[in-house]
A = this chain, B = another copy of it.
Amino acid sequence: MRDSLDDQLDALDADLVAMTTAVRFSLARASAALLEGDIEAGELVISGDTVIDAARESCEADAFSLLATQQPVASDLRRVVAGIRIAGDLERIGDLAVHVAKLARMRAPEPAVPETARVMVAQMASVAEGMLESVAIVLGTHDLDAAVALLTQDDELDGLYRSTFRRLLSDQWPHGVETAVDIALLARYYERTGDHAVSIARRIVYQVTGEVPLG
């Protein structure tokens, strides 16, 4: 039964959902390393990235063999091509989690994020992680409402990104250049995570409706 086109397509979707969960855990661990000084969690993120890379290769290989053996057309073909791109977005989110974990490690045992900026960064981390939960739902259910809700989450993340930069660049910024550069990069990593999540949601909407969605 595993050989039918539908089964193979479902298996590809299931692999993408599993990969999303792995990437979400990775980002959560990286944020714990950053914000709670959980060094072990950070090391797991860095060493575990090869597993995420392998998952991406495996999704791509499955899609590839599906294209070669089943020669899907129309919406099935769209689904396979979307799967290849989505696996690429997820791998990239995994890389961003590694960046967060490495920044935490570079500053340890000092916290990379000073107390005054902690809430701001924690909010970005939390919204980004929530977006990955939504991505798993969108991938698993193809629920268009959940895909649209992701856009609202991304607006929130962009708002946090902008207010982080306003804080960094204000005259009241109480820390030095190094901390400012660290926080700017961290803000960018979380914001890029959100962009990749939105990109995945758009692909699912396109796959389901055939229309490029959401402005």
Contact = CB atoms under 8 A, between A and B. Distances in A.
Interface in A20-64: 60, 63-64
A31 to B, nearest CB: 20
Nearest to A177: B180
A173 B177 CA distance: 9
Interface stretch (A71-79, A128-136, A137-145, A146-154): A71-79
B64 A68 contact: no
Interface stretch (A11-19, A80-88, A109-117): A80-88
Contact of A184 (B64, B71, B185): B185
Contacts of A3: none
Interface string A118-135: 000000000000000000
23 contacts: A64-B77, A64-B78, A64-B81, A67-B67, A67-B77, A67-B81, A68-B73, A68-B77, A71-B71, A84-B85, A85-B88, A88-B88, A165-B181, A168-B177, A168-B181, A169-B178, A173-B177, A177-B180, A180-B181, A184-B184, A184-B185, A185-B188, A188-B188
Going nearest first, the 5 A-B pairs with the smallest beta carbon separation are A71-B71, A177-B180, A181-B184, A169-B178, A68-B73
Given A64-B77, A71-B71, A168-B177, 14 more contacts: A64-B78, A64-B81, A68-B73, A84-B84, A85-B85, A88-B88, A169-B177, A169-B178, A169-B181, A173-B177, A177-B180, A181-B184, A184-B184, A185-B188
